[in-house]
Structure 1
Amino acid sequence: MIRIIDDSEVPLVRPASRADADGFVPSITGSLRTSVLYFWLATAARRVRRTGNKHSTMLIHTSVKTSVHESFHEPLARFQESVQDRIQDLDPRILGELEGLWKRENAAVPAGEFGLAPVDFDEVLEMLPSVLSESRIIIDNATSRERLDYEGQPVVAIAIGGNTLSRGLTLEGLAVSYFVRSVSAYDSLLQMARWFGYRSGYEDLPRIWLTEELRGWFRHLATVETEIRRDIDRYMAGNDTPTSFAVRIRTHPSLLVTSAAKMADAVEVYSAFGGRRIQTHFFDVSPSAVEDNLSALRGLISSLDADHIRVEADGRHSRYLWRNAGYKAVTRFLREYSYHPESFESSNDVLIEYIEKRVRQSELLTWNIAIVGKPTGDPSATVDLGHGIAPGRVVRSRLEGDVVDIKTLMSRRDAALDLNLSKVSKEQPLTEEEIFTLRRVQLPHTGLLVLYVIDKDSAPNSKRPSSGTKRVALDAPDDLVGFGLVFPPADGEDSQAKHTYVSADLSGIEIEEIDDAELDALEHEELP
């Protein structure tokens, strides 16, 4: 649903500096023109369906300057009038442009993936004149006299504004966002993302136009949020509270977490992986990186053979396991592996530093190393890695987008493949917590490296129910190598690798302890 605004177009919709704001006139061309046309098409399609929110809004957010907001009104009004007249005159060029745009967007995000019926262009075209006649251009900022008002009749509005739109105001029926404003802090950026939330009855229609840089920033913030949620899960699993365990927030080289005043009590912290499972899901598919990673895997197998470490081969399940390898075999592989820049945690410097710090504490000196493949009786579906190792290629399609992201590589059961499970009930799959409990007992200081060779031609499973996230073929130049690392919990305080986070400084927090008598009284209180 994301559409990229080319960097060359940004000066057409946003002044280069504050000094250029006065007198700036935006150009309704390129991606801005396309986004506005699509907004009217999407609004017409929603009227055909007669479902969901009765209002329909487009957000244009390019600058905080009110003079820039005002500058959009006249060019957009002229564009709207021109499109109205040309549709009324049945101009074949505008009709062809609209039909082509509608068909491309319908093909890119099929309605059927959300259980919705597709809307034909002829039905959309029938509704377009009324949509255009009702469409209003609203400048909503601190100095505006006219504001968005969703009381009463259905509203069709293109809203241009700054902080009032990006922070406080709810945009009803938001269908299209055009967003190029640069910001410097996480909290400001997230507040401006007005496109989150439910879009009942038109889940296939919302679109977001933004720059590649902004998309990268939001992807980073999604990682930050996932990690924060994981830290909060630790509160629930143990006896931690926000006063005893500060949530970590990953930093970014180009963004502040928040303003300096709010960061007064922030301190730097670092990554720790004890009791965690790390895996690659972003991949560099440049030919050189793909070749380097296959070479790194073959080199690892050769080094294990040279060290006379016996392999436990399970051909039926396409699994190979080497036990008690030295940690240097693992760090050598990690050093030779080519990582994608988006691989924040599974990057060589961070992982190697962490392992070496644990080694200095007499932990992670030994590793179990496994290769997990897809069971197959077809030799052509295997990959020869040398020394008699030929696993079946696993299939992992990628999420749609410019970055090769397979989302999930390693199954939870693979984190237990080197454990003795003979006394474990097999009625229910082991949970993550149960696996790490077993590891603490059986292999308290041994790490696990699990490797996978991913079929370069991996395609989505057409029989799998759609989750709303579109998958496409991997289409790599050669088979990819991915890996997962399973770190046993640390004996004492976990080591930390230099991967910078910040958290609140809790050193000055005085925690009031409840004595046992008071605690007993609280536990035996009755509800009214």
Structure 2
Amino acid sequence: MRTTKMYDTLMQMGRWFGYRPGYIDLCRLYTTEDLIEWFGHIADASEELREEFDAMAESGATPRDYGLRVQSHPILLVTSPLKMRTAKNLQLSFSGDLLETVSIHNDNEVLDRNLEAVNRLIAACGTPDEINPSRIRGSLEQQWEGFLWNEVPADHITDFLESFTTHPKARKVNSTLLRDFIHTMTETGELTSWTVALLGGGEGGNHTFPGGLTIKAMPKRSADKDIADRYAIGRLLSPRDEAIDLDNAAWAAALERTRNMFNPDAGRQKNGAKPSTPDAPNGPSIRYIRGKGCASNGIAPSPERGLLLLYPLDPQQSGSTALAGRKDPVMAFGVSFPSSDSGVKVEYAVDHLLWASEYGPAE
């Protein structure tokens, strides 16, 4: 029941969760909803920082010349102000990030408006370029159920985000901030051409969108039954979905980068599983290759390419009592931004090296 607003103290408390592989089944924790949310946030921030360390190591840099960042929170502090010393809050870009709606409204009026926003986007995109798209991945073929549009203008995406209402508990996935960020990036010539995918392939029922586009099996995402004020899910995207716009060469380059960054740390594996070399690229590498390319593999950078993934979730499969009477899908989305050095939107607490490299020495 003890509360603290300091990341570092929370992480020390979090050791009771079973930080050694194979011990998590011995732990049972009863606590408050706020603390659960805070622990979830620092887990995300910690994993993001680990990815920063991996990227630093892969580039051959050291902490002496690589500025590190830690994701901030509207309530929590990374540590006490005395320990922060020269760290500052800095607005950084969404570039290189994956954002997905995992906190979703369960109010039918809001959900109807969001569905209409998706309908307008689909109508604006016109005839799909691909139906049930497939991709070669190494020696295998992957296929998706759904529809895909290429080279969608950025104004279609910003119009969609302007009319889509994200949940206030989804602090980072804010449709208004995303819209403004994309608009700012287009002024620099980036994020001007989008891939949009409407994906099914789940266990749910059918739904027909404008133009007769029928999703025959809506995805299933189970609600967290301990959270009543919203439709809260664990993960929206299937990992392979983020690479749907990569050809085989780019996918292979992203896999190579993933393996170069691979850290076989047993403590980062679920259920104490033995670490194994990745057989598919991770998200940071996918976004890096999309945005910055890979000269050694002949892949040109494409910072103008964004990816919007639309998921019509079946409310009947959600397990949420608030959605039990709903027939139409609950629309959720993921946005994959290519890596770039442009754009300023997300607030982070950063160390003095990153601050100095961006804005000069701290006063």
With the length of structure 1 as denominator, give the TM-score of the two structures. 0.51
Going from structure 1 to structure 2, the CA distance change for 1:205 and 1:434 (only over 3 Å counts) comes to closer
- Quote the residue 1:228 is aligned against: 49
- Deviation of 1:431 (Å): 1.5
- Deviation of 1:234 (Å): 1.6
- Deviation of 1:501 (Å): 1.1
- Is 1:265 aligned to 2:92, yes or no? no
Pairs within 5 Å for 1:340-379 = 340-374=167-201
For residues 182 and 213 of structure 2, the distance between their equivalents in structure 1, rounded to whole angstroms, comes to 27
Asked if structure 2 preserves the Cα contact closer than 8 Å seen for 1:419 and 1:442, the reply is no
- Quote the residue 1:388 is aligned against: 212
- Quote the residue 2:332 is aligned against: 482
**Pair member with larger Rg:** 1
Asked if structure 2 preserves the Cα contact closer than 8 Å seen for 1:248 and 1:269, the reply is no
- Is 1:244 aligned to 2:65, yes or no? yes
For residues 453 and 387 of structure 1, the distance between their equivalents in structure 2, rounded to whole angstroms, comes to 16
Pairs within 5 Å for 1:139-288 = 179=1, 181-193=2-14, 195-197=16-18, 206-288=27-109
Going from structure 1 to structure 2, the CA distance change for 1:204 and 1:375 (only over 3 Å counts) comes to closer
- Deviation of 1:249 (Å): 1.9
Unaligned runs of at least 5 residues, structure 1: 1-178, 460-472, 511-528
Amino acid at match of 2:331: V
Asked if structure 2 preserves the Cα contact closer than 8 Å seen for 1:312 and 1:322, the reply is yes
Amino acid at match of 1:246: G
Asked if structure 1 preserves the Cα contact closer than 8 Å seen for 2:90 and 2:355, the reply is no
- Deviation of 1:313 (Å): 4.2
Asked if structure 1 preserves the Cα contact closer than 8 Å seen for 2:105 and 2:111, the reply is yes
SS of the equivalent of 1:195 reads helix
Asked if structure 1 preserves the Cα contact closer than 8 Å seen for 2:88 and 2:355, the reply is no
For residues 47 and 250 of structure 2, the distance between their equivalents in structure 1, rounded to whole angstroms, comes to 34
Asked if structure 2 preserves the Cα contact closer than 8 Å seen for 1:271 and 1:496, the reply is yes
SS of the equivalent of 1:189 reads helix
Amino acid at match of 1:389: L
- Quote the residue 1:412 is aligned against: 239
With the length of structure 2 as denominator, give the TM-score of the two structures. 0.72
Asked if structure 1 preserves the Cα contact closer than 8 Å seen for 2:18 and 2:26, the reply is no
- Deviation of 1:205 (Å): 6.2
For residues 22 and 288 of structure 2, the distance between their equivalents in structure 1, rounded to whole angstroms, comes to 43
- Deviation of 1:496 (Å): 2.0
Going from structure 1 to structure 2, the CA distance change for 1:275 and 1:220 (only over 3 Å counts) comes to closer
- Quote the residue 1:5 is aligned against: none
C-alpha distance after superposition, 1:24-64 (max 9, x if no partner) = xxxxxxxxxxxxxxxxxxxxxxxxxxxxxxxxxxxxxxxxx
- Quote the residue 1:494 is aligned against: 342
- Deviation of 1:228 (Å): 1.7
Asked if structure 2 preserves the Cα contact closer than 8 Å seen for 1:318 and 1:372, the reply is yes
For residues 132 and 41 of structure 2, the distance between their equivalents in structure 1, rounded to whole angstroms, comes to 40
For residues 446 and 484 of structure 1, the distance between their equivalents in structure 2, rounded to whole angstroms, comes to 15
- Quote the residue 1:311 is aligned against: 128
For residues 338 and 486 of structure 1, the distance between their equivalents in structure 2, rounded to whole angstroms, comes to 19
Going from structure 1 to structure 2, the CA distance change for 1:325 and 1:191 (only over 3 Å counts) comes to same
- Quote the residue 1:451 is aligned against: 310
- Deviation of 1:280 (Å): 2.2
C-alpha distance after superposition, 1:416-466 (max 9, x if no partner) = 3334448978x996413367536633671221111111111226xxxxxxx
Pairs within 5 Å for 1:98-109 = none
Going from structure 1 to structure 2, the CA distance change for 1:412 and 1:223 (only over 3 Å counts) comes to closer
Asked if structure 1 preserves the Cα contact closer than 8 Å seen for 2:96 and 2:338, the reply is yes
- Deviation of 1:203 (Å): 5.7
For residues 336 and 406 of structure 1, the distance between their equivalents in structure 2, rounded to whole angstroms, comes to 22
Pairs within 5 Å for 1:44-55 = none
For residues 508 and 383 of structure 1, the distance between their equivalents in structure 2, rounded to whole angstroms, comes to 49
- Is 1:298 aligned to 2:150, yes or no? no
- Sequence identity percentage: 28
- Deviation of 1:199 (Å): 8.9
For residues 355 and 125 of structure 2, the distance between their equivalents in structure 1, rounded to whole angstroms, comes to 50
Going from structure 1 to structure 2, the CA distance change for 1:260 and 1:443 (only over 3 Å counts) comes to closer
For residues 75 and 14 of structure 2, the distance between their equivalents in structure 1, rounded to whole angstroms, comes to 18
Q: Which sits farther off after the overlay, 239-248 or 295-304?
A: 239-248
Amino acid at match of 2:176: D
Amino acid at match of 1:410: L
Q: Which has the higher contact order (CA 8 A, sep 6+)?
A: 2
For residues 270 and 364 of structure 1, the distance between their equivalents in structure 2, rounded to whole angstroms, comes to 19
In the alignment of these two chains, the number of paired residues is 307
Q: Which sits farther off after the overlay, 481-490 or 429-438?
A: 429-438
- Deviation of 1:324 (Å): 1.6
C-alpha distance after superposition, 1:133-159 (max 9, x if no partner) = xxxxxxxxxxxxxxxxxxxxxxxxxxx
- Deviation of 1:193 (Å): 4.2
Amino acid at match of 2:244: L
Unaligned runs of at least 5 residues, structure 2: 134-143, 256-277, 294-298, 358-363
Asked if structure 1 preserves the Cα contact closer than 8 Å seen for 2:225 and 2:320, the reply is no
For residues 240 and 482 of structure 1, the distance between their equivalents in structure 2, rounded to whole angstroms, comes to 38
Asked if structure 1 preserves the Cα contact closer than 8 Å seen for 2:154 and 2:191, the reply is yes
Going from structure 1 to structure 2, the CA distance change for 1:340 and 1:508 (only over 3 Å counts) comes to closer
Amino acid at match of 1:365: T
- Quote the residue 1:397 is aligned against: 222
For residues 442 and 288 of structure 1, the distance between their equivalents in structure 2, rounded to whole angstroms, comes to 44
Going from structure 1 to structure 2, the CA distance change for 1:401 and 1:185 (only over 3 Å counts) comes to same
SS of the equivalent of 1:384 reads strand
SS of the equivalent of 1:356 reads helix
- Deviation of 1:371 (Å): 0.8
Amino acid at match of 1:484: G
CA RMSD between the two structures: 3.4
